[in-house]
Structure 1
Amino acid sequence: MCVSAITGTGLNSVEASTLTTFQQVVMFVLLLLGHAILISITVLHVRKRAFQHKFKGISHALAQRTAQGAPAPNLYEERNDDKSHPMTQDIPMEISSRSSVGIHIQSANTEEGVSYDPTPKTGVDQSSNLKFENDRARNSCHSLNKAQLLPMGIWRGTQKYFESKGLISRNSQFHGLTAAERDRLQGVEYKAVSFLSVIVPIYWASFLCCGILGMGTWLELNKPQVPRDNGLSPFWTGAFFAVSAFVNSGMGILDANMTALQTDAYPLVTMGLLILAGNTLYPCFLRLIIWTMRRMMPNRPAWKTWRVTLDFILDHPRRVYTNLFPARHTWYLVATVIIFNGIDWAGFEVLSIGNKEIEGLPTAYRIMDGLFQALAVRAGGFSVVTISDLRQGLLVLYVLMMYVSPFPVLVTMRHTNVYEERSLGIYAEDETLYDSNQRPSNNITDLVRRHLLLTKEGTRRHFLREQLKDQLSHDLWWIALAVFFISIIESSNYTKDPVGYSTFNILFEVISAYGCVGISTGYPGRDLSFCGVWHSLSKLILAAVALRGRHRGLPVAIDKAIMLPSESNAQAWAEEEDAVLRREQVGPGAV
């Protein structure tokens, strides 16, 4: 029960009404502590404190230099301009890739004798201790990158946030920045992290408080007898429902779960909104709030810092927060949520024709229950109807939807994390690159090839295909082994009741746990999840499956949104390397 609560799985191995008040409070606290938004708030505050610690160290060092009589240096002053080194566009340069994470840049004119050879030996996560050799070499690399990248034509400047000669490419990578310009960038990032460390907790607390007050008060005033029949306080029951909905657990302290409220519009609408706001549409709601604040901000000099901060968050969300995505990816996430929930909703309404329990509901509530169950299947975990009474085809659809429930957010998070691509050796661009003297062909064959069939290594389509393939291979082993061992352990129960302990019901329970959903077929005569009648060893296996499933949404490679300022050198190396490697691997005419 504790694993189920903190992972958001929501499967009840005992009847909810048998829990003591202390046990209910423990479940309530674990539901909150395991919520992904609360965990992300912790990461934001850790990054904010790390920035503050770094800036305090810089201020202390400057104060010491001033006390000793030395002039305080200007942190934002260029230490070397383009005239203090020979690397200009008139000198031919040779760029060769040593490895997927290393570059070697040297002057073809040996008389000048300028070379720059960082040569990191391993990935970004192991190169945090590397530092730029000196300011002269760094400025040399800056000039070289600018000369190499400007012809690509799709790179943007940094003038919107701070003055520099650097450029910005896909996934918010900043290239060709000097040390002073990197300091400016970290200053902008710090302000963005500071803003999010305030707005995200407000978002989290606001939805929780409104949900608790709304559900608790409604149940107290409208249906107090339902929880009292289970020996529960109406307000406490409503509060537990609201928290469970927002954290997408599906765990309730009513034995009947949401079937007791299947003909009540307010709890269905409120909890449906909480399910969306707490998980699948959280990145979309948060971006909408920030976008609205930016649009309402007055265009006055006094508000310039705020405008720059919000613009940076909206333009480069994945540099500052794991669950905030660019506009295009956010719309993609909205579309997938609508499509998947629409399929579940339509499946419920169509495949429930002839089902006496469903058809006995008033038409309006039948439609509303179908929508709520569709929202709950992908993450919420609540049951507004008896799951075991649904048609077999609908249960198969629910199995598929529970399995793919985290995919939209997972793929979006990984697709916008450039270091995930680096782990696969991919340096793709967002737009088609081609030589300015060669126009792309628009005939049908080439269009089909470019947009449907092309999965060339190094492209975004190849990256998505690799991510899905890897995810499937990782998932299927856990699910297959869990079903195999649980089926062996429960073979004695299967002999007694082959229908109740069918392999499909076991598969349904395992996927519900792995997807951290919580919907269960249950067991006849018992008000608990199907796993509640399993042997202890089977429950332990399911707990391990739930823990593994809870973490499958994490990025494979290090994420820019969780990097500390002490790792800025490693990030700078990675971005400068990508600038050259993409130019080499993508090249003119590639997609």
Structure 2
Amino acid sequence: MHTLPIFRKWWRHIGNAIMAVLPPVNFLTLHYFYFTATCIIASIIFYLTSTPWQSVAYVDSIFMCVSAMTGAGLNTVDLSTLNTFQQAILFTLLILGHAILISLTVLVVRKRAFEAKFKGVSDERERERSTRNPSQVEMQVQEPVQGSTGTDLSGENGEGHGCKPRPKTSVLVQMKPGESSSREEQLWLDDDQKTIGGTPRHHHHRVFPMAGIGARPDLHNHPRDAVPNVPLVAKDSVSGFKGMLRGTQKYMASKGLVSRNSQFHDLTPAERDELGGVEYKAVSFLSVVVFLYFILFIIFGMIGVGGWLEANDPAVTRTNGLSPFWTGAFFAVSAFVNSGMSLLDANMTALQLNAYPLLTMGLLILAGNTLFPCFLRFIIWTMRIMLPDRPKWQSWRITLDFILEHPRRVYTNLFPARHTWYLLGTIIILNGIDWAAFELLSIGNKDIESLPTEYRVLDGLFQALAVRAGGFYVVTIADLRQGLLVLYVLMMYVSAYPVTLTMRNTNVYEERSLGIYAHDESPDSPANTSRSNVVMDLIRHHLGRPGLSETSRGYFVHQQLRSQLSHDLWWIALAVFFIAIRESDHYESQPVAFSTFNIIFEVVSAYGCVGVSLGFPGKNYSFCGAWHTISKLILAAVALRGRHRGLPVAIDKAIMLPSESLAWAEEEDAAMRRDRSRAWAQEHGPVGSV
């Protein structure tokens, strides 16, 4: 009789102990689980379907599946020797692991979550109507919640949420309906820059804690426990704030405010619901656009490259016993997902004198990865300017305007205009450096100079695009000069940085994810007024400057870069160390082929999910194909880890499901930023004062 309660107690303790050591359930852990489980299942099928039986070892099966799924693109066996079903498995994994498909899944899940939330709100209101009289319902709607009515800067805590009301001592910031909503007149609310009166209070409770990469936002804290400190604003401050405000009237009937990185605050609960409706329309629209983008690029790429090979050069594929169209289709998908896998043993060197496939696949490489945010924003911007200026299109205009002006509230890979231009400029500069280095450092290289001049230039451009993400090689990499190979290592390492840093720098909860709250740069600061030096702007944007103060935007980029470097370097260093130890016997027999630099090159290529390899003498597969089993497994783990370095942090509006906690987090962040601004202003004096 007494054993059952004791058993339950011990079972509960065991369960709690297990949960304590397991990683938290968030986007990052789910992403890891999806990739790991899919690769294991696919590798078993891959291994069991090999012909003849066990012709492909299981370690090679798991490595090939991980390489395809992560986009690493390295191969330990020649793909031409695999049967068609095994090739189809790799083809499927290339698509299933692509970042655009993952982000599309997030959009669909968030869309369903919005629908469930709206249905819950509707059902709750129906229950309230049936259980309460009209006057009670009306009073509940009118009660302010957590600090703001959306029309004032002070806010008040509604009794309906268990908080004591504060006397209303703020002033309203009126904005006429006819006021211009242009970029020049609707500036961001730089609460970080204004001197705000009032006595600061300390925060003891956060809606969810501030944390970095892979952190778990604690959404179990009830938002009523997190009372934001909303500052008091004197009437004579209105004129000072008027030019610094960007309101929400363009999207809904509200006088709420928008601060850095599209944080909406000073909204009533009803306005929060209306904002959720706008976000729902934006997410629904993007889920369709991204799906069409993904599908159409793949379909047209397969038709374009596969059809060209079928019609113009079928012999090059039949030497490997392959179908021309299937080979071209595999090429196109591999280019779009930035894998670099090829059914041809010679990779793209077999097509180095053909302009069409090089240009087409170069476009697919850009469209599927580094320039995806730029292409997507251009498509949406084009759709916006093409909309007729008629009342029936008003809802569409609001939706597209919201997406273009606040993209990171709804999607991870869509950025504001300024950041998109920075990203485009950075990619052009990095690819330009690679292209110029290829041409200059190949002077005197007989293997490269044997190519016709026009194709040597084109091959240099394609290799520049491929070495940062695509993973293909149009010339034999081992034949290139040592200096160019060192440059390629650096470029492969930083391949994910432009998009990743831009993604994290535009995160709605960037301050919370870093644990830093700072005020934005003044519009009159040198960082904003000096726009002539584009190169220095790009460097400043992505790398920050030494000695940055916490008052600058560059400070946040600097912190993001430091966080990313600490996330990357130790994995690469440990992998190189252990692989070098295991391959020491190979090094003794073949010191040139198994040099430490070659190992570093392979590890960085795997971690960057690039796929370029120095190869192994006399073999068509990647250098890692000649390694021992444990070294292959280490490299597979490195590729899996590297695939996750470009993900958004756990605290990111675009991947989190809509909830009351997120809304309160924005109010709390705004209040904490105002506290920071007040402290800064007390030290430096009011912004704009003489």
TM-score greater than 0.5 by the shorter chain: yes
Q: Distance in 2 between matches of 1:207 and 1:55?
A: 34
Give the structure 2 partner of residue 27 of structure 1. Answer: 90
Counterpart selection for 2:315 from 205, 225, 228? 225
- Segments of structure 2 that go 5 or more residues without pairing to the other structure are 1-63, 157-164, 172-195, 212-216, 531-536
Paired position in structure 2 for 1:414: 504
Work out whether 1:395 is the aligned partner of 2:458: no
| Secondary structure class of the residue paired with 2:258 | strand
Distance 1:51 1:398, change over 3 A: same
Residues 423-442 of structure 1: matches in 2 within 5 Å? 423-432=513-522
Which position in structure 2 is the counterpart of 1:355? Answer: 445
The residue that corresponds to 2:119 in the other structure is 56
How big is each residue's C-alpha offset from its partner over 1:334-363, in whole Å with a ceiling of 9 and x where there is no partner? Answer: 000000000000000011111112111111
**CA offset at residue 583 of structure 1?**
2.4
Q: Contact 1:317–1:326 (CA<8 Å) still a contact in 2?
A: yes
Q: 2:382 aligned with 1:288, yes or no?
A: no
Is the contact made by 1:143 and 1:176 (CA closer than 8 Å) also made in structure 2? Answer: no
In the alignment, structure 1 residue 495 sits paired with structure 2 residue 588: yes
Alpha-carbon distance between aligned partners in 2 of 1:307 and 1:543, rounded to the nearest angstrom: 46
Shift of 1:580: 2.3
Q: Is the 8 A contact 1:142 1:177 kept in 2?
A: no
What per-residue deviation string (whole Å, max 9, x for no partner) do you get for residues 369-406 of structure 1?
Answer: 00000000000000100000011111011001000111
2:684 equivalent to 1:580: no
1:85 to 1:483, Cα distance in 2 relative to 1, 3 A = closer
Q: Tell me, yes or no, if the aligned pair for 1:76 and 1:181 is still in contact at 8 Å.
A: no
Q: Which moved more, 1:411-420 or 1:375-384?
A: 411-420
Task: Evaluate the alpha carbon distance shift between residue 170 and residue 463 of structure 1 in structure 2; reply closer, same or farther with a 3 A threshold.
Answer: same
State TM-score, norm by structure 2: 0.76
Alignment of 1:126 with 2:218, yes or no, is yes
In structure 2, distance between residues paired with 1:96 and 1:159: 30
**What is the CA–CA distance in structure 1 between the aligned matches of 2:479 and 2:80, rounded to whole Å?**
23
What is the one-letter code of the residue matched to 2:583? E
In structure 2, what is the equivalent of residue 513 of structure 1? 606
Q: Which residue of 1 aligns with 2:247?
A: 157
Opposite residue 568 of structure 1, the aligned amino acid is L
Report what 2:632 is aligned to: 539
Q: Is structure 2 residue 89 aligned with structure 1 residue 8?
A: no
In the alignment, is residue 277 of structure 1 matched against residue 372 of structure 2?
Answer: no
Aligned partner of 1:468 among 561, 583, 591: 561
RMSD: 3.1
The aligned counterpart of 2:259 is: 169
Secondary structure in 2 matching 1:174: strand
Query: Secondary structure of the residue that 1:467 maps to in structure 2?
Result: helix
Distance change >3 Å, CA 497–CA 452, structure 1 → 2: closer
Cα distance in 1 between the residues matched to 2:234 and 2:104: 36
Task: Please report how far the alpha carbon of residue 574 of structure 1 lies from its aligned counterpart in structure 2 after TM superposition.
Answer: 3.7
The residue identity in structure 2 corresponding to 1:96 is P
Q: CA deviation at 1:589?
A: 6.0
1:522 to 586, 590, 615: 615
Q: Would the aligned equivalents of 1:215 and 1:239 in 2 still touch at CA under 8 Å?
A: yes
Q: Does 1:300 align with 2:390?
A: yes
The Cα of 1:453 is off from its aligned counterpart by 5.8
Tell me, in whole angstroms, the C-alpha distance in 1 between the residues paired with 2:355 and 2:594: 35
Q: Report deviation, 1:201.
A: 0.3
1:581 to partner: Cα distance = 3.3
User: Which residue type is aligned with residue 675 of structure 2?
Assistant: L
1:542-561 matched pairs, under 5 angstroms = 542-561=635-654
Instruction: Note if 1:568 corresponds to 2:658.
Output: no
Contact 2:603/2:638 (8 A) holds in 1? yes
| 1:144–1:57 CA distance, 2 compared to 1 (3 A) | farther
CA–CA distance in structure 2, aligned partners of residues 350 and 74 of structure 1 = 75
Q: Is the 8 A contact 1:192 1:312 kept in 2?
A: yes
Whole-angstrom CA distance in 2 between matches of 1:533 and 1:119: 52
SS in 2 for 1:168: strand
1:229, distance to aligned residue in structure 2 (A): 1.1
- After TM superposition, give the deviation of residue 171 of structure 1 in Å: 0.1
Partner of residue 349, structure 2: 259
1:58-77 to structure 2, matched below 5 A, reads 58-66=121-129, 70-71=133-134
Q: 1:552: Cα distance to partner? A: 0.9
Structure 1 pair 431/576, CA: closer, same or farther in 2 (3 Å)?
A: closer
CA pair 528-193 structure 1, distance change in 2 beyond 3 A: same
TM-fit CA distance, 1:24: 0.3
Is 2:456 the counterpart of 1:366?
Answer: yes
In the alignment, is residue 89 of structure 1 matched against residue 147 of structure 2? no
For the residue of structure 2 that corresponds to 1:54, the secondary structure is: helix
Shift of 1:209: 0.5
My pick for the range that moved more, 549-558 or 27-36, is: 549-558
In structure 2, what is the Cα distance between the partners aligned to 1:146 and 1:196? 42
Letter in 1 for 2:223: K
The secondary structure found in structure 1 opposite 2:369 is helix
Distance in 2 (alpha carbons) for counterparts of 1:3 and 1:145: 60
**Offset, 1:239:** 0.4
| Partners of 1:154 and 1:586 in 2: CA distance | 17
1:129 is displaced (CA, Å) by 3.9
Instruction: Name whichever of 314-323 and 456-465 sits farther off.
Output: 456-465
Residues 305-324 of structure 1 mapped to structure 2, 5 A cutoff: 305-324=395-414
Aligned-partner Cα distance in 2 for 1:393–1:67 = 76
Alpha-carbon displacement from aligned partner over 1:104-126 (angstroms, at most 9, x marks no partner): xxxxxxxxxxxxxx665844822
The residue type equivalent to 1:88 in the other structure is: T
Say if 2:306 is the partner of 1:202: no
Partner Cα distance (1:22, 1:244) in 2 = 17
Sort the Cα spacing of 1:177 and 1:148 in 2 relative to 1 into closer, same or farther, 3 A: farther
Over residues 44-65 of structure 1, what are the superposed CA-to-partner deviations in whole Å (9 max), with x where a residue is unaligned?
A: 0100000000111122223344
**Unmatched 5+ stretches in structure 1:** 104-117, 443-447
What SS is found at the alignment partner of 1:156? coil
The answer (yes or no) to whether the contact 2:606–2:635 under 8 Å persists in 1 is: yes
Of 457, 469, 476, which aligns to 2:550? 457
Paired letter, 2:200: S
Q: For the Cα contact (< 8 Å) 1:419–1:558, is it kept in 2?
A: yes
State the distance in 1 between where 2:166 and 2:666 align. 21
Whole-Å separation in 2 of the counterparts to 1:542 and 1:7? 12
Q: % of aligned pairs identical? A: 62
The CA deviation at 1:572 is 3.6
| Corresponding residue for residue 44 of structure 1 | 107
How far apart in 2 are the matches of 1:382 and 1:589?
56
Question: Residues 120 and 49 (structure 1 numbering): CA distance in 2 closer, same or farther, change over 3 Å?
Answer: closer
* Matches of 1:372 and 1:149, distance apart in 2: 56
Aligned-partner Cα distance in 1 for 2:224–2:291? 37
- DSSP 3-state at the match of 1:96: coil
Residue identity in the other structure for 2:218: Q
Corresponding residue for residue 110 of structure 1: none
Q: Which residue of 1 aligns with 2:25?
A: none
